[in-house]
Amino acid sequence: MKCRICAGKAIIGLPQHNMALCAEHFDNWMLKRVSKAVDEFKMFSKKSNILVAVSGGKDSLALWDILVRLGYNASGLYINLGIEEDDYSDESEEFARSFAERVGRKLYIVDIEENHGMSIPEKAYTKRRKPCSACGVTKRYYMNKIARNESFDVIVTGHNLDDQAAALLGNVLYWKIDYLAKGAPYSPPIESGQFGKAKPLVFCTEKEDAVYCLLKGIPYIQKECPYSKGATSLRWKHILNEIEENSPGAKHAFYFDYVRNIDLFQAKEKEEELPPLTCEICGAPSWNYVCSFCRLWDLDKRGNLSCDMDQN
Ligand code: Q46
Ligand code: ZN
Ligand code: ZN
């Protein structure tokens, strides 16, 4: 396999682009893929204050590295969920911390057990909810809170093409129109003073992110969250990989043709707007008098755990 650009020894085949690249040209290509996503979807500029949600995994660390190399002003946020199985949370925090030191950028750390006296799996158990549902509400809350309090312009996440195409397949299969309206690579701020949400790795695959980390010597947590086992998104990824093997480029076409036509789904949904209420406990925008985060964590008006919390 030869590099399409210099004819040197290729280190990665990219059948979906009908080419292979050497280490140097693959590195350039990754930077270009991220720049293309940022420019094409008008995600942010060199003046923007960017918050990268990092998990300690290959995607978010590759993304943070690329943004720093491209000259963006990007800080990180790590949320320790308190998952003890496999030492998952503490190990992934260590990868996030050492990467922040390596690039010399600020890393905000939120420790759920320290803040709430309970880990995500423990809270989910007391509420008879799935850990991933408690996790989603909590991560969203803290990302939004830090972005608001620290005046970030945009929150970026390491979602890649595989993640986006898998989510799309799941949403199309069950025709979840409300989710289909929200699957774009970039959601601009709804009001001035708010922040946008961006996925600058949408043109890159999981495999490309892993190869990038390997080439740049970026250590990352290789194990998956123990609660991701059996997740439906993994099934959709598997199916899409089979299709891709026979029809290279199918995943890209599936997701980006949808993005081109996303207004068809958005037209069916009412105009996106901020929730009309503010949570009477934490003050965050909310669809109810008490937001889903404060309900999950049984917070009272002082932000403490209330006495009527579940004792299951
Ligand atoms: S939601 Fe679920 Fe993930 Fe949270 S509990 Fe683990 S698998 S980390 S993206
Ligand atoms: Zn080359
Ligand atoms: Zn609240």
Q: How far is the CA of 252 from the centre of ligand 2 (A)?
A: 24
Whole-number Å distance, alpha carbon 227 to ligand 3 midpoint, is 26
Q: Is the dihedral of CA 236, 241, 242, 243 positive or negative?
A: positive
Instruction: With a cut of 90, say whether residue 188 has pLDDT above it.
Output: yes
Q: Tens of pLDDT along 243-280?
A: 999 999 999 999 999 999 999 998 766 555 677 899 99
Indicate the SS3 state at residue 258. helix
pLDDT on residue 96: 98
Lowest mean pLDDT, pick from 148-157, 257-266, 301-310: 301-310
Of the listed ranges 33-37, 123-127, 263-267, the one predicted with least confidence: 263-267
Residue 311: pLDDT over 50: no
* Atom number, ligand 1, closest to the C-alpha of residue 139: 4
Say if residue 312's pLDDT is above 60. Answer: no
Q: Can you tell me the distance from the alpha carbon of 157 to that of 134, in angstroms, rounded to the nearest whole number?
A: 19
User: From the CB of residue 128, how many other CB atoms can be counted at a distance below 10 Å?
Assistant: 8
pLDDT (mean) for 282-296: 93
Mean pLDDT of 65-84: 98
Confidence (pLDDT) at 230: 84
Give the atom of ligand 1 at the shortest distance from the alpha carbon of 55. 8
Mean pLDDT of the chain: 93
Domains and CATH numbers, the chain: 34-274+306-311 (3.40.50.620)
Sign, CA dihedral 267-269-275-276, equals positive
**What residue's CA is closest to ligand 1, atom 8?**
225
- Ligand 1: residues with CB < 6 A are 131-132, 135-136, 225, 227-228
Buried b (16+ CB within 10 A) or exposed e, 40-73: ebebbeeebbbbbbbbbbbbbbbbbbbbbeeebb
Element (H, E) at 140: helix 131-149
Portion of the chain with pLDDT greater than 90, in percent? 88
Atom of ligand 1 nearest to the CA of 88: 6
